[in-house]
Structure 1
């Protein structure tokens, strides 16, 4: 089984040089457009749509400024393309439940989707499922709560 080796970024100077290669417009940050080339270079054979690239950027962009800075790029370089693919799949799963696309899964949305999938579940049961993972107490599941729930062995949804 052959895999494309990832560049070994030993020091900050080397990391900065690689970052600068991807920063096509030299503004000190990597945009969603420049991210496509980063993923291709990291060995991803997928052809990402604009929406998928935006989702990947959202997952990498820890300071939520809409771009990838050097620190965030460093974290990306330590991850693998398999992890990027897994993050996209997790986001797709979340989006399946988030019917109104407001970034939250409500009891009503969970009930609707589970029943569409053939899983008979009452609204009260769905409310209990949401309550079990709703760490901020807003009555919904946001992506961070969903991600945490899906990383546990006990998958409530």
Structure 2
């Protein structure tokens, strides 16, 4: 699998946002951290890793372990076309905008569950104009999350 350079500062920031007081994450949060730095692991890859950790009795991962996992598997970055397609799935009006309240519902109820605080932060960072509408340009900070939902969700 092709590998791309991992930015340690980016990983540390993503890890810190998700870690416990012990500065670790449970294996179940691995996908959240990896996707938040723009990588696109499949659910099958994540489930396989979680099964492996479970079989070894691993209940927590530190940042160095997460970095080693990313370096080992690579997890290709998302392509602009994949991100655009994911955004399009949720843009039911086809106007290049997502309503923040609809996005909140999607992020809180589908795929990996996010807390209200996590969703608030994502929307605050992505709503570039403060009007409650997320345009494709403003999506950059949370496209990993949207992409993970687009695999199994068809928006009517």
TM-score range, shorter chain: 0.3 to 0.5
TM-score by length of 1: 0.36
More relative contact order, 1 or 2 (CA 8 Å, 6+ apart)? 2
